[in-house]
A and B are shown apart, each in its own frame.
Chain A
Amino acid sequence: MRFGTGPEILGDIDLSLSPGGFYFLTGPSGAGKSTLMRLMYLADRPTRGRASLFGRDISTITRSEKPGLRRRIGVVFQDFRLLNHLSTVDNVALPLRVAGGDDGTVRSYAAELLRWVGLGQYLDVRPSTLSGGQQQRVAIARAVITRPALLLADEPTGNVDDAIAFRLLHLFEELNRLGTTVMIATHNQTLIDQFNYPVLHLEEGRLSQTRQSVDQGIS
């Protein structure tokens, strides 16, 4: 994967996530973690090589098929990407709303989720008035509201203290137990040490696995 005529950001990566798995993605800043995730949530196409998602070759996915696939993917963006003209509850409800969900049901479900991540008193405020950590939790609530088959979280605990980070990790584990494949990009070594999941390390365009688990392998 490269951008324009720049250097190849991701070289020969051979990665396959087993359905229902839980992965950490680490690597120095600028290694291409976010870029790898962009490929996975169909925001970019690989410039060479092949990638497949839910058994579909990414390069053959048509525009009209993308919404259906993206509804099965929850993304926590590194920069949150919350909409500041909407309240937090409307932000969280967005994925269900664009999928045609009933407004009332969708809002009450979003409110419930926000209460769960500890933001019950901020339902009707604009995200811009919240702290970085609070915005991050709104972004996480939005990513998980559809109970996606694949959750991609790009440094989702970068702005919260460890106590909240653990709480959020438990939320991701809960989703994982319900069948969601989870991949979390993070720098937080404490967190990685605390949870015993395979760690994918990305550096200089190459991917390696530093903690192999028995049942989940990278070829």
Chain B
Amino acid sequence: MAIRPYDLPLQADGSSRFLPWFIGLMVYLATLTLALSLMLTSAIQRWDAGLQGSLTVQIPAPVDGSALPPERLAAVLSLLQRTAGITSVAPMNLAAEHELLRPWLGTSIDDTALPLPTLVDIHTALGSKIDTGKLEQSLAAVVPGTSVATHDRWLGSLFRAARLIVLAGEFAVGLIGAGAILTIIFTTRTGLLIHHDVIELLHLVGAQDSYVARQFQSHAFRQASGGGAFGMGLALITIVFGGLAAAFGQGGDEAMTFQGFGITIIGWCALLLMPVAAGVVALVTARVTVLSILGRMS
């Protein structure tokens, strides 16, 4: 079976020779950006899952510097245990607390000199939403000044920053896509000019605009998907080597490396489909460009 010839010599003219390289570069950048976004998204989800359902209750030490009376602590603990949704209540002991503070205060802590608040670690049942405001109010009635710290409160800004980075990445991919579309429009217009005579002949022998468009769109698809495959290959090599280097450089998180850098199966599929996506975008762009330009002719 002979390969059907192009009726337009699009592959022979120089106008689109750079297109595969250009699309390749764009797919390379888009794939890297997308991969980084996916990794960051999965990292955010892992932090989120690790921290969800854990709260810290902080009971202030009496202002006179004395230790917290045990019956006050017991009252707080029993109130927490009676609260629906809380699965475990664990007061942090002094040693553990000192351990936490060692980097700041050094090894010789005189616990009578420094009034430390008593911390209670609590875990909540999965999915249960504890009203921390209400909990804080009823705890403060037992020991004034008691507060409930959700990790969201101090990790929230970190999450927001990470999400912003992901959003910026997606925006960058969008810009790259827009750049690719403009390039294909430009190349297609140039092709229409270069091959004006052949296109006129095709029309004179009875070709519809869609026949001419098919010539351009299949050419654009091949160029973009070919260039895109090259760009994606390079991007995957970059991700694997970059990821391995980072993992070994830190001396940790090999688990993440072996779990596909935290990118899900769907994420990997999205990355692998980038060349096809580039091809389809090129195809549709070329078709719409040709049909709209030819349609404006008489």
Known: A83-B7, A86-B5, A90-B5. Contact between A95 and B205, CB under 8 A? yes
Identify which of B183-191, B206-214, B251-259 touches chain A: B206-214
Contact of B204 among A41, A85, A146 (CB under 8 A): A41
Given contacts A45-B298, A83-B198, A85-B12, contact A67 B5 (CB under 8 A): no
User: Is B74 an interface residue, CB under 8 A from the partner?
Assistant: no
**Closest-CB distance, B2 to chain A (whole angstroms):** 8
* Residues of chain A in range 156-206 having any CB-CB distance to chain B below 8 Å: none
B205 engages A98 (CB within 8 Å) = yes
Do A98 and B204 contact each other (CB < 8 Å), given the known contacts A85-B12, A90-B5? no
**Within 8 Å of chain B (Cβ to Cβ): is A12?**
no
**Chain A nearest CB, measured from B8 CB (Å):** 8
Partner of A63, one of B5, B200, B201, B295: B295
Q: Contact check: which of A71, A81, A87 meets B206 at CB < 8 Å?
A: A71
Bound Cα distance from A77 to B139, whole angstroms: 97
- Contact indicator A98/B298 (Cβ below 8 Å): no
Ordered by A's residue number, 12 sampled pairs between the chains whose C-beta atoms are within 8 Å are A41-B204, A43-B204, A63-B298, A70-B204, A70-B205, A71-B206, A83-B9, A86-B5, A86-B7, A98-B202, A98-B207, A103-B2
User: Which residues of A are found within 8 Å of B203, using beta-carbon distances?
Assistant: 66-67, 70
Chain B residues within 8 Å of A94, by CB: 7, 202, 205
A: number of interface residues (CB 8 Å): 26
Minimal Cβ-Cβ distance residue in B for A143: B205
Q: Is the CB of B12 within 8 A of A67?
A: no
Residues in A with CB closer than 8 Å to B4 are 103
B298-A81 in contact (CB<8A):
no
Q: Chain A contacts of B208 at CB under 8 A?
A: 64, 67, 98
Q: Does B297 contact A (CB under 8 A)?
A: yes
Distance (Å) between the CB of A21 and the closest chain B CB?
22
On chain A, the residues within 8 Å of B295 by CB distance are 63
**A63 and B206 contact, CB distance less than 8 A:** no
